[in-house]
Structure 1
Amino acid sequence: MPNRTLAMVMYISRSAPTTSRPDVEKVVAAARRNNELRRVTGAMMWTGRYFVQVLEGELPAVIATHKLITQDTRHHAMKVLFQGELESRNFSRWSMAFVDRPDADHLIEPLIEGIQDAESFRALRRMLFDLAMSQDPGGDRH
């Protein structure tokens, strides 16, 4: 019987200096296609300098997707903030919500040092959800 454990990975990473908005748009389009096939949901925020991404889905699909992401040269210095089981999806409306926030570096920089408690992690996840809702309340899943 397949593993039906619902899992989530949330990470931050530094954008490669050569990564441009069109590059990120291609990543988001590919993520939406691939995630739909894998039944993975999530959100990505790009500040121009940093990425924050959440992936949710069945454990094998999340692990495989995250492994592919770690090999992408458009970012580096990945730091996993959370990896574990999930009771229910937070981003079920989106195969991949995208939030472009060039003004948000100040929100990400303290996280480079690390989220020290569960409340900080939940606050970041909630912020990402709220931003995704404000930009695309209907989601990208049809």
Structure 2
Amino acid sequence: MIDLQAVNTIPDLMDAAADAYGSRPAIEDENITLSYYELNELRLKAASSLLAMGVEPGDRVAVWAPNIYEWVVAATALQSIGAALVPLNTRMKGSEAGYVLRASGAKLLFCIDQFLNCQYPAMLEGEELPGLEAIVTFRGQGSEME
């Protein structure tokens, strides 16, 4: 059982859930099942990677992907380092996503490679994105997400 009085943040909750529920399933995504412990470890590794990439507290980072475990890992890792999550709807067109990326000043974009018969990184070709330093794709080339 988690003592919610001792939990102040979502990262605190992730730590507490890993301690309380360890090997129990936290997320099931297609043929992948992550335990609470594994999910928390992925969050911590992703947070460390974000810091190594130069993401700092207050930076805005966008996530443009469907409901997959990588979305949860990215979102919780961002919260762990104090960065702001900018969620993008998977139904957005490239120009709409480009507008949100520009308006938010997103420094980094996590996105699915392919979903709903669309190549997400390709949808941004031709968009002026002066603040965007990198795009990290989930489930790279040849992904079968539909």
More strand by share: 1
Ranked by relative contact order (alpha carbons within 8 Å, sequence separation 6 or more), the top structure is 1
TM bracket (short chain):
under 0.3
Q: Which has the larger radius of gyration?
A: 2
TM-score normalized with structure 2 length:
0.27
TM-score under structure 1 normalisation? 0.27
